[in-house]
Structure 1
């Protein structure tokens, strides 16, 4: 696959994979902040999700709130097979690059 992922796109897709099943903006933001240790803008995540959807790396649909949750329907996102494949390709490429960097090894 010849596509590339930007750094934030990469992190958003990985956060979605960590969350499993269908994810929506708030838990993705929470996961990125928890793992990355810094504040993440929900609007930046949402814009990135829509961009990844246009690239067919994920899909979305409207879903009602879960049991015991109030509020309105929300857009939930799912990583597609192409999204998973691109993450795997990116991981492989990064691992290949890291294998030649001796100065940063523990």
Structure 2
């Protein structure tokens, strides 16, 4: 017996949900690549947004902390200015992971393009 689940969503909502799911993992890669040059969270948030990665601050900051805990980012407080800022940068392990993820991204892109060509 087969079961089918019908999700009652508007087409725009359905698209948005799938786009969010598709982009979720790419934000990790985007952060690791961007933070090879140290920067603070809010500047990263703005730059990601300009680059097409609409990320909420409530998503980004926990992600940065998780990547730091995993040894992929390091952070350092800069208190030279009136407002102290925590600067993040990609560690050597983070750069290595980013290279591996980029390789995987390339393979996935090739696979998707080949599937698209068969339709």
Alignment TM-score > 0.5, same fold: yes
Stretches of structure 1 lacking an aligned partner (at least 5 in a row): none
> RMSD of the TM alignment (CA)?
2.1
TM-score by length of 1: 0.73
- Tell me the CA shift for residue 41 of structure 1: 1.6
Q: 1 or 2, which has the higher helix percentage?
A: 2
Stretches of structure 2 lacking an aligned partner (at least 5 in a row): 1-23
- Are 1:54 and 2:69 counterparts? yes
Q: Identify the structure with bigger relative contact order (alpha carbons < 8 Å, sequence gap 6+).
A: 1
Take 1:34 and 1:91, find their aligned partners in 2: how far apart are those partners?
21
- Which of structure 1's runs of 4+ aligned residues deviate more than 6 A? none
TM-score by length of 2: 0.66
Over 3 Å counting, the alpha-carbon distance change for 1:36 and 1:65 in structure 2 is farther
Does the 8 A contact of 1:25 with 1:46 survive in 2? yes
Larger CA Rg, structure 1 vs 2? 2
Partner residue of 2:58 out of 43, 56, 68: 43
